[in-house]
C-alpha cells in the first residue's frame, strides 16, 4: 500500500511515525513518499508537486499535512483522485471557497478529517454511557487552550483549535442536533507569523437542541488545558455530570469522571477512567495511530472503521461553523505580542509542549 504525505513538517512527521509503527506491528507493506517545497534529509521518495506525485507514485492514501492556509490549494490539486484522503484539521480556512473544495473531492474513495480526540478511550466511553443510558444533554461547557505564541508555523488562528471541542460535543451527544451559535466574543493579535490581527481566542454561547453550550478556546493560553464538562438528565430525571480531561499530565493521558449527587448533596461516583498509554514508539502518537490504523484497514481490507470517520460531510459542517465563528466574533483592537524589532520564533526542534 502506498501512502503520500503532502507536507513533511511537524504534523507530517507525526503521520510518518504513526504509519511506520503500523507497518511494524501489522506486517503490512506500507510504502511512504512525500511532497514538499524542498527535499528533506530522509530516505523517503520526494516529489516537488502534487500532480507529479499522484501520477508517478499512485498512492492509495493521501495525507494532507501542510499548514492551514495551504489546505485549499492542495485539496484542489486532488480533483479527480479516487483514493482515500486523510486531512489534518481544519479542512480549510474561513476565507476559502467550500463549494470549490467539495467539488474537488467528489471522486475520493474515502475521507477522514484528523479529529484525534475521537480516538481517546475516555471520550469513547462517555459516548457509550450516554447512548446506553439514554441521557439527555442539558448543559455543556469547554475550555480548550494551548500556547502557540511565536510558533514558526502559519495558522488561521483559534478556529484550528476550537474545532476539537466543537466536534466532541456533537460526537458524544449525536442526538442533541447540530450546534447553533448564539454569540461570539474574541481577541485578535500578532501572536502568529500569519498576521497582525489573527483570531487567537474565542468565547462562545450556543445550543445543541434544547441544551445550552458555553465555551472558551485560545491559542495564547500560557498553559495547556483541555476539558469538557457535561450535565445530563437520565430517565429518572436525575442530574448526571461528566468531565473529560485530555492530554494531562502528558499527551494522550486522558481522564473521564461521571457522577451524580443525592438530595443531601453527597456525591455518588458512577464511573472513573484514566488512560496512560505507554506503547513503545508511540509517545504522543497513541490516538493518532488509532486513526491511521483504521484508515489503513479500511483501504487494505475494505473494513468498516470501529467508529465512523469524520467524513467529508462532517468536515464541511464543522468548517461552516468555524467560518461563522470567525465572522461573528466581536473583537477589540488587536493585541501586540511583538514589541522588539524582530519576532523571536520557536525552533523546529522545540519541545512538544510548545509545538504539540
For residue range 276-311, list pLDDT tens digits in order: 999 988 989 999 999 999 999 999 999 999 889 999
Looking at residue 340, its pLDDT comes to 82
Q: Give the model's pLDDT for residue 151.
A: 84
The whole model's pTM is what?
A: 0.94
How far apart are the C-alpha atoms of 333 and 343, rounded to whole Å?
20
CATH number given to 2-116: 3.40.50.720
On the question of pLDDT at 347 being above 80, the answer is no
Grid cell listed for 94: 474561513
For the stretch 194-226, pLDDT in tens is 999 999 999 999 999 999 999 999 999 999 999
User: Does pLDDT of 350 surpass 80?
Assistant: no
Mean pLDDT of 306-317: 95
User: In the predicted model, is pLDDT for residue 352 greater than 90?
Assistant: no
pLDDT score, position 343: 78
Burial 304-323 (b: 16+ CB within 10 A, else e): eeeeebbebebbbbbbebbb
**Ranges of each domain in the chain:** 2-116, 117-279+312-355
Q: Is the pLDDT of residue 346 over 80?
A: no
Q: pLDDT above 90 covers what percent of the chain?
A: 88
pLDDT tens digits for range 248-284? 999 999 999 999 999 888 999 999 999 999 998 898 9
- pLDDT band at 16; cut points 50, 70, 90: very high
Give the pLDDT confidence of 19-57 residue by residue, as tens digits: 999 999 999 999 999 999 999 999 999 999 999 999 999
Average pLDDT, integer, range 302-331: 96
The percent helix, strand, coil of the chain (3-state, each to 5) is 30, 30, 40
CATH architecture of 117-279+312-355: 2-Layer Sandwich (3.30)
To which H or E segment does residue 123 belong?
helix 121-133
pLDDT band, very low/low/confident/very high, at 356 (cuts 50, 70, 90): low
Report the C-alpha gap between 78 and 38 in whole angstroms: 20
Over the chain, what is the mean pLDDT?
Answer: 94
Question: 3-class DSSP state for residue 286?
Answer: helix
Hey, do 2-116 and 117-279+312-355 end up sharing a CATH topology, with the first three levels equal?
Answer: no
Share of the chain above pLDDT 70, in %: 97
Mean of pLDDT values over 237-248 = 97
In this prediction, residue 351 carries a pLDDT of 52
Amino acid at each position: 500500500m502506498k501512502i503520500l504525505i503532502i507536507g513533511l513538517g511537524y504534523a507530517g512527521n507525526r503521520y510518518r511515525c504513526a504509519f511506520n509503527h503500523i507497518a511494524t506491528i501489522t506486517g503490512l507493506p506500507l510504502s511512504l513518499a512525500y511532497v514538499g517545497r524542498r527535499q528533506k534529509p530522509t530516505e523517503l521518495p520526494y516529489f516537488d508537486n502534487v500532480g507529479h506525485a499522484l501520477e508517478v507514485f499512485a498512492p492509495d492514501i493521501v495525507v494532507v499535512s501542510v499548514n492551514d492556509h495551504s489546505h485549499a490549494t492542495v485539496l484542489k490539486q486532488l480533483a479527480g483522485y479516487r483514493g482515500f484522503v486523510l486531512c489534518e484539521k481544519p479542512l480549510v480556512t474561513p476565507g476559502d471557497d467550500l463549494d470549490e473544495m467539495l467539488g474537488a473531492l467528489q471522486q475520493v474513495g474515502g475521507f477522514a478529517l484528523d479529529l484525534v480526540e475521537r480516538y481517546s478511550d475516555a471520550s469513547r466511553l462517555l459516548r457509550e454511557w450516554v447512548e446506553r443510558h439514554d441521557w439527555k444533554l442539558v448543559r455543556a461547557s469547554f475550555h480548550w487552550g494551548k500556547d502557540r505564541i511565536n510558533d514558526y508555523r502559519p495558522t488561521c488562528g483559534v478556529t484550528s483549535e476550537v474545532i476539537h471541542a466543537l466536534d466532541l460535543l456533537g460526537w458524544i451527544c449525536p442526538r442533541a442536533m447540530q450546534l447553533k451559535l448564539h454569540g461570539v466574543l474574541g481577541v485578535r493579535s500578532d501572536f502568529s507569523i500569519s498576521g497582525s490581527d489573527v483570531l487567537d481566542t474565542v468565547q462562545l454561547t450556543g445550543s445543541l437542541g434544547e441544551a445550552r453550550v458555553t465555551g472558551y478556546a485560545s491559542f495564547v493560553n500560557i498553559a495547556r488545558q483541555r476539558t469538557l464538562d457535561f450535565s445530563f438528565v437520565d430517565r429518572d430525571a436525575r442530574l448526571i455530570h461528566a468531565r473529560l480531561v485530555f492530554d494531562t499530565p502528558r499527551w494522550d493521558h486522558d481522564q473521564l469522571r461521571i457522577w451524580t449527587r443525592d438530595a443531601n448533596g453527597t456525591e455518588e461516583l458512577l464511573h472513573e477512567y484514566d488512560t496512560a498509554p505507554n506503547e513503545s514508539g508511540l509517545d504522543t502518537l497513541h490516538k493518532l495511530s488509532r486513526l491511521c490504523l483504521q484508515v489503513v484497514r479500511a483501504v487494505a481490507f475494505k473494513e468498516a472503521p470501529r467508529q465512523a470517520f469524520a467524513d467529508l460531510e462532517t468536515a464541511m459542517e464543522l468548517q461552516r461553523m468555524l467560518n461563522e465563528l470567525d465572522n461573528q466574533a466581536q473583537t477589540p483592537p488587536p493585541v501586540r505580542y511583538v514589541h522588539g524589532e524582530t519576532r523571536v520564533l520557536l525552533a523546529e526542534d522545540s519541545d512538544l509542549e510548545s509545538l504539540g
